[in-house]
A and B are shown apart, each in its own frame.
Chain A
Amino acid sequence: MTDFAIDRRDLLLNGVASVAILALGGLAPAMAQAGPDTLENYKPVYFDAAEWAFVMAATDRLIPADGEGPGALATLVPRFIDRQLAGDFGKASRWYMQGPHDPDASPLFGFQLAQTPAEIYRIAIPEVDAHCRTTYGETFAALSDADKDAVLHDLETGEVDLKTVPAADFFAMLLANTKEGYFADPRYGGNHGMQAWTYIGFPGARASFREWVGQQNTPYPLGPVSIGGERA
């Protein structure tokens, strides 16, 4: 896997970001990590080992490393998802969760599941792995890239029948969370080193372009800045 070497300033700022996340999400202090900022060193706060292996493998296919631009793993997207599920998003704390729930609702009416996002991942991942074992004889993480892609495609189109949650709903959430982790401010644990912003040319949290309205059809020359003040 890629060596996620980082400089000291980056590490310091990420330490600050972790503290901010603690304050925001109310996570247990035990999540504070030691050592360099890598997925190998990261101790998930929500996922168990099997779930973590799935999320690592799945996000690596959703935004793969090959070609130009960073992949989901280089940008620490799994860390982002783990922290989101441990926080308010995972708990669906903003959503209306009261029943009755209609399992046969048309997708046009949006989210109608009884489970929170954290519960959906917890339920769906073993079901996907069970499907992979039945069909391919291995868990998802152990499959070839082509087989992984085939499984993801079948989830996306609902061709896999997960027992508890609709496969397409789970896939849509996983894909959305993966893109969020790729492009969100690094304070949330993903978009490591603002690599995704650098790749597409988004200046991040700069938020001041008065003098650029008139500089038309000219590439913006500066790299991104984060909320915490990191630059890339």
Chain B
Amino acid sequence: MARTQKKVDAVIVGLGWVGSVMAMELTAAGLDVVALERGPDRKTVPTFAYPKIADELRYAVRYELMQRPADSTVTIRHNTGQTALPYRRLGSFLPGTGVGGAGAHWNGLLWRPNAEELRLKSYIDERFGADIIPDDMTIQDFGVDYDELEPYFDRFEKIVGVSGKAGNLNGAIMDGGNPFEAPRASEYPMPPLEQTYDAVLFAEAARNLGYHPFPKPAANASQVYTNPYGMQLGPCNYCGFCERFGCLNYSKSSPQTCVLDALYQRQNFEYRTNATVLKVELAPDGKTATGVTYADAKGEEVFQPADLVILAAFQLNNVHLMLLSGIGPPYDPATGAGAVGRNYAYQMTGATSLFFKNIDFNPFVGAGANGVAFADLALSQMDFAKNGFIGGGYQSSQQTNGQPIHHLPLPDGTPAWGAGWKKAVGEHYGHSMDIVLQSTNMPYRDAYLDLDPTYRDPFGRPLLRMTFDWRPNELKQAQFFKEKAAEFGREMGADASSSFYPDGHYDTRVYQSTHTVGGAIMGTDRQTSAINRYLQSWDVHNVFAPGANAFPQNFEYNPTGMIGALTLWAARAIREDYLANPRPLM
């Protein structure tokens, strides 16, 4: 049977943003903490060191740093009538693995959600009336509101180190920032990144079209920065190898650059890599967890006893572990009973490329979070009744890389191969810019996660099954924004364009976003949420699951800011309330 490790106060599953920040908080409270990371150890040097990191094939095409489906994947179907099929090779979304998790290979967009998005059900009821919500759309409030979370957003931005410009500083609207954002207590830790030429042109066009452009909040350092943990960032060099790569330059915020060396100084912290957590073990009464069982590098099972279990894995893996471990009742879409697996949602994205024969954009001069956005069409600004869909989004310029295998936009109608293709790549490379959309995705009664009846992982565990497809609401939303992007093309006098916006069933092959959310959502009612507003399991009170799994629906902004704030919010509840008297906090 399983070998047993020495008991610790807290075990953390996964050493990415959530795991590393939670470990800082819990070790600061004096707890002995062990983090178990299923992937390998990763350090800037040697793992992300120049020049070998500047390898598109290895990292951006073969996904060297990502989860290997051979080890862990999901099955996917569009509806409950289909048989789900394995997500055999990565495509539409790219879960991370290894120390740093997806926080090592993201682009670094660090947003806060709109205040309205955290209480979306209440907002719609008040503003438009509950009748506007389609019957099968299961929108909910998060159970924690923006004002409560503001100090934690603020703290997380200081830990991460964000380059940006405030648009609403304590209620005062600031020039150059996002005038539609919720009030911020302080300015961004660093000034905005310098913008590439596509962003300059986009901002000008946006102003001409009546929008209010502002630099995207970037977890790419615009200058040297030292965070509250004493960790340091150096200025970004626009290397053009950001998303899907680890940062070669200590410039992109990641657990590596912002947390880990400080964490490794703590005597009461330990981490083990190549340690795949198989199950959270429960006490006989099922009300508390006793620790976790994991497979070590040799595949041997090890039991790690702990008084507190933090699920800090990728969203899908957190939900998977809860289902496998019996933490809370699984969701049944037929009856609506059970909460674990409920409200899976994705992110509606799209992109339009505009071509200009006479402009040299130098697309390889790129930073992950480079670009200018406007939020005039954010959810909080939209009239759902008039638009005919519930949702909103932000559109932005985005010059992150000029890697030709996976990012070489060509005008619509260009042949995919042959002499025509070769001629086109020579003509158009470097002469196009992208306008990208990121928008909301609402939850539905039968968009959910459960355990697959057929397919198993190498440990013999059932794979997680995802039931998801685009709905008329989201498809209408995508077309709405596609037309807005086309207006930019006309305004800017582009020679040609091409675009990708979902217009039918969910296509798992095409990369769209890694912002998979929900499945173990937070709330104030245990019938409709798996975890309470402190990210604590309703059913097993010493299990906390901060992460994107907590989102009842997906807001338009990138999730990391919210995930970080929820982690710090949960950590405060654990430190200041739970530890003195371990119990259900609600």
Residues of A within 8 A of B (CB): 61-64, 66-69, 71, 88-89, 92-98, 100, 102, 105-112, 149, 152, 156, 175, 178-180, 183-185, 187-188, 196-197, 199-210, 212-214, 216-220, 227, 229
Contact = CB atoms under 8 A, between A and B. Distances in A.
A213 B68 CA distance: 35
A112 B85 contact: yes
Given A96-B86, A183-B405, A210-B238, A219 B360 contact: yes
A110 B89 contact: yes
A226 to B, nearest CB: 8
Given A107-B509, A209-B237, A98 B419 contact: no
B133 to A, nearest CB: 28
B88 A105 contact: no
A152 B417 contact: yes
Given A64-B418, A229-B51, 16 more contacts: A63-B421, A69-B423, A107-B509, A110-B87, A110-B508, A152-B417, A178-B417, A183-B56, A183-B404, A184-B57, A199-B425, A204-B54, A205-B51, A207-B50, A209-B237, A227-B51
A96 B87 contact: yes
B163 interface: no
Nearest to B367: A213
Given A96-B73, A229-B51, A203 B200 contact: no
Given A64-B418, A98-B455, A213 B195 contact: yes
Interface in B439-473: 454-456
Nearest to B50: A207
B362 interface: yes
B215 to A, nearest CB: 13
A112 B86 CA distance: 8
A13 to B, nearest CB: 13
Interface string B243-261: 0000010000000000000
Contacts of B200: 216
B290 to A, nearest CB: 31
A97 B73 CA distance: 11
A68 B196 contact: no
B426 interface: yes
Contacts of B419: 64, 66-67
B52 A98 contact: no
Given A69-B422, A207-B241, A209-B239, A110 B70 contact: no
B333 interface: no
B402 interface: yes
Interface string B36-65: 000000000000001111111100011100
A209 B362 contact: yes
Given A110-B508, A188-B57, A199-B426, A208 B89 contact: no
A108 B70 contact: no
Contacts of A68: 422-423, 426
Interface string B486-514: 00000000000000000001111100000
B396 to A, nearest CB: 17
B55 to A, nearest CB: 6
24 contacts: A64-B418, A66-B419, A67-B423, A88-B62, A93-B70, A96-B73, A108-B505, A110-B88, A112-B85, A149-B418, A175-B417, A184-B405, A200-B425, A208-B239, A209-B237, A209-B239, A210-B236, A213-B196, A216-B200, A217-B359, A218-B362, A219-B360, A219-B362, A227-B51
A203 B256 CA distance: 28
A196 B408 CA distance: 13
Contact of B429 (A63, A109, A202, A206): A202
Contacts of B63: 94
B194 interface: yes
B87 to A, nearest CB: 7
Given A94-B69, A98-B86, A207 B455 contact: no
Contact of A185 (B56, B362, B507): B56
Contacts of A111: 88-89
A180 B61 contact: yes
A168 B429 CA distance: 27
A66 B364 CA distance: 27
A130 to B, nearest CB: 23
Nearest to A204: B54
Contacts of A97: 70, 88
Interface string B334-355: 0000000000000000000000
B360 A218 contact: yes
A149 B88 CA distance: 31
Interface string B523-567: 000000000000000000000000000000000000000000000
Contacts of B456: 98
Nearest to A220: B362
Contacts of B418: 61-64, 149
A223 to B, nearest CB: 13
Contacts of B68: 94-95
A214 B56 CA distance: 25
Given A94-B70, A98-B455, A112-B88, A209 B240 contact: yes
Given A108-B509, A207-B54, A212-B365, A100 B454 contact: yes
A205 B69 contact: no
A217 B433 CA distance: 12
A198 to B, nearest CB: 11
B85 A109 contact: yes
A109 B422 contact: no
B227 interface: no
A203 B364 contact: yes
B378 to A, nearest CB: 27
Given A149-B418, A209-B237, A95 B405 contact: no
B57 A180 contact: yes
Contacts of B195: 213
B69 A95 contact: yes
A100 B455 CA distance: 8
B237 A227 contact: no
Contact of B197 (A95, A109, A202, A217): A217
B3 to A, nearest CB: 28
A152 B78 CA distance: 32
Interface string B205-218: 00000000000000
A204 B51 CA distance: 11
Contacts of A110: 87-89, 91, 508-509
A185 B55 contact: yes
B194 A213 contact: yes
B405 A180 contact: yes
A207 B240 contact: yes
A149 B418 CA distance: 8
Interface string B355-372: 000011110111000000
A200 B416 CA distance: 16
A205 B54 contact: yes
